[in-house]
Amino acid sequence: MATSLIAKPQPIAPAYNPLKFIYNSTNVNNDGFRYIFDIYEAGTATKIAEYRLLPNLSGYGEIDLSKLLQNYVSFDFDPTDTNFDPTNCYYEYDVKVGEEYVAEVNWTANLTDNGGFVKITATHSFQVGDTVNVDGGVDNPSITGVWTVTAISTTVDFTISAPWSFVDDATGNGSVRYADNRKSVTRDIITSTGNYVFNGAIPFKDYRTYVDDDYILDDSSAKFVTSLPTEFHITPSQDIWLNLMINSDNTGVLYFINDGGDILARQVNETNLLAMHQVAGDLSALSVISGTAPLVKTDTQYYDVYYSPSAVGTKHSVTYRFYIDNRCKINDYEILFMDRMGSLGSFSFQLRDKLTGTVKKEVYNQDIQGSVVSSEWTYDSYERGQRAVYSSIEEIYELNTNWMTEEMASYFTELVSSPNTWIKIDGTYYGCVVTDTGYEKERGKNRNLIRKTLRVKLSVQDRVNG
């Protein structure tokens, strides 16, 4: 048998895009043929799925594992931690490909007489008493049919219950299979290892040009695992956590350099595929390389962040520049969200807000029991004919950003569509849900000033006592 690879995803691929594995087999024309795909947690005997697939129109075994593997990635968020291994953001798996088909033994050696019965010479796995289906072909049509294995001397010959007198041509070729058409199963013919998925969902138009090597931090053009623009405006307190694809390289350093020339750093100690690092917000734990701390001072205009394997200036990533927005704030709301590459970006909502509430309740009619007074039925004025139950309050925050760039406006659409969002109120994060379902993607050539409005509600229901 021969099984060969036709195509598979890149070694590190986004889990929410197609993840197609395609293989070919030389046995595809055998009766009852199926490809067998066994999916394992990488490097273990823990099987997470098994699939038996018919060949497609080209004869290939083709499977998309994205629906399966999406269940093994989610997100990591800890507002108290500046850097950690985001183990929920990625998953490593192995794919083992095998096949099954109806077991058939072909003979080419001459048939022989064994005590008046037909002896067939061929390698086999039959046992005495097995019922087999023989195809004698055009040379021996009389032995075509169902017979019983009556004798076995070695694993390369067996005798069936067909009389020797039924043989027309002892030199003719033929085949034998089990009468119940049981299948021969061969697993793990090819094993594909070193496969990773991360919690990303690249837009359709961009997925065709996705290359995982663009995100592995090994040269100055490598990107962090985020769709955050390389130039972004933040307030001094605004938080952002980005994933770095260090790919088991634990010798790196994240450098922070402000416009005043101060250089601060944080060691990247994680040893697996990704490392999540806070690049905006509370940066007080950074080590001073030169200059003074803190990184963001009252007169700081911007700072740069990049990854290096060692010394300052040796860049193994692009540079991300964060401009400090010190414009006067009416409000201090921030919304943190998981972007389409799995990092945690954020937007600040500094302008006027509005908070509106909706009360939800269920009302049903109930019997007025009343009472009997002097042989007459009556009821009190405070009796209740209707009863309200399951009351809850839903408050909607209508928030407004300050003016932003076209690139930031494009990134804002990922906030609107993100399934995982948190609102920061007075320095504390609360889970929230973005209620807006539409957006406008403004272009700078059509509108010089871009500002956004967003409506969110807290994700935990606010019940009322009843």
CATH number for domain 104-181, candidates 3.40.50.970, 2.40.30.20, 1.20.58.1610, 2.70.98.20: 2.40.30.20
Q: Cα(209)–Cα(223) distance, rounded to whole angstroms? A: 14
CATH 2.60.40 segments of the chain: 3-101+186-198, 211-324
- From the CB of residue 24, how many other CB atoms can be counted at a distance below 10 Å? 17
Query: pLDDT tens, 392-411?
Result: 888 999 999 999 999 999 99
Contact 197, 69 (CB under 8 A): yes
CATH topology of domain 211-324: Immunoglobulin-like (2.60.40)
* Class of the CATH-defined domain 3-101+186-198: mainly beta
**Which parts of 65-135 are beta strand (E)?**
83-84, 90-102, 104-107, 112-114, 117-121, 131-135
The pLDDT value given to residue 360? 86
pLDDT along the chain (466 residues), means of 10: 91 97 96 97 97 96 98 94 95 97 94 96 94 96 96 94 96 95 94 97 94 94 97 96 83 94 94 94 96 96 94 90 91 95 97 90 89 89 86 92 92 96 95 91 68 93 81
Q: Is 104 exposed, middle or buried (0-12, 13-18, 19+ CB in 10 A)?
A: middle
C-alpha span between 451 and 234 (Å, rounded) = 14
**Is residue 252 within 8 Å of 309, Cβ to Cβ?**
yes
Q: Which residue has the tokens 């097995």?
A: 130
Phi and psi at 411, nearest 5°, equal: -65, -30
Reported as a single tens digit per residue, the pLDDT across 110-147 is: 999 999 999 999 999 999 999 999 999 999 999 999 99
Which residue spans of the chain are classified as CATH 2.40.30.20?
Answer: 104-181
Output DSSP code: residue 286.
Answer: P
What is the per-residue burial (b if ≥16 Cβ within 10 Å, else e) of 154-189?
eeebbbbebebebbeeeebbbebbbeeeebbeeeeb
